[in-house]
Amino acid sequence: MIRNQNNYFLNRIVHYYIKRIVRREFHELLFDNIPVDPNRSILLIANHFSFWDGLILYCINDTLLKKKLHVMILEETSRKEKFLKYVGAFSVKKDSKSIVQSLDYAAELLNDPANLVLMFPQGRLYANFVTNINFEKGVMRIIEKAEGNFQLLFASTFIQYFKHKKPTATVYLKNETGNYSGKDVTALQQAYQQHFEASKALQTEFDI
């Protein structure tokens, strides 16, 4: 497992780099305004369809949630994009023993109210047009270990062009109040699916 590293200098460089490429790539970044509890950490669950969704959520965290972001990424990505570890990326290796270590580390991070852990429980890239969301069960271990000391947020991201040359990224955030500790992953998956479908419906009704 490759842990995130604290290095103020490199963190700032990567931070401004991410902000810059997101600003350059997208026409606009739209998101809901939701209340954030300052006394609890955040577990942010999002759909995964591109390399951009992590970066988009990074920018949203910077402007809206204002927590210290940590994101679970695949070990291959972590090796390839070495700079990511300076902005809170820690790795997970699927189908190995170290997966437990990564999940426990994520749960540990959630004990500090200043932290945010971003996760893509789908485990790999899917099309943005996907209709059935499939979660892997690792996320439940985090939820159980962290013992409800966190605020659970759902995010579904869509990228569309509308009438502009550059695409617009829309992120629908939702404060999920249900307690999933001790439950099966399907309960969480269904709740997320509902949010995803509702967001997609909003996305099609968008006034272009």
Span from 58-66, 137-145, 146-154, 162-170 in contact with other proteins (CB under 8 A): 162-170
CA dihedral 110, 46, 58, 81 (to 10 degrees): 100
**Quick count: other Cβ atoms within 10 Å of Cβ 45?**
25
User: Which pair of tokens denotes residue 60?
Assistant: 């949203």
Binding of residue 130 to other proteins (CB under 8 A):
yes
**Cβ-based nearer residue to other proteins, 97 or 163:** 163
Contact 29, 160 (CB under 8 A): no
Binding of residue 129 to other proteins (CB under 8 A):
yes
Binding of residue 24 to other proteins (CB under 8 A):
no
Of 11, 175, 193, 203, the one binding other proteins by CB under 8 A: 203
Question: Residues 176-204, buried b or exposed e (16+ Cβ, 10 A)?
Answer: beeebeeeebeebbebbbebbeebbeeee
Binding of residue 193 to other proteins (CB under 8 A):
no
Of 96, 125, 148, 190, the one binding other proteins by CB under 8 A: 125
Span from 12-20, 113-121, 171-179, 196-204 in contact with other proteins (CB under 8 A): 196-204
Binding of residue 56 to other proteins (CB under 8 A):
no
Strands 89-92 and 115-119: unpaired
Binding of residue 44 to other proteins (CB under 8 A):
no
Give the full edge-to-edge strand order of the sheet including 41-46: 28-31, 168-176, 150-160, 41-46, 115-119, 68-74, 89-92
Interface with other proteins by CB under 8 A: which residues? Answer: 25, 49-52, 125-131, 158-165, 167, 200, 203-206, 208
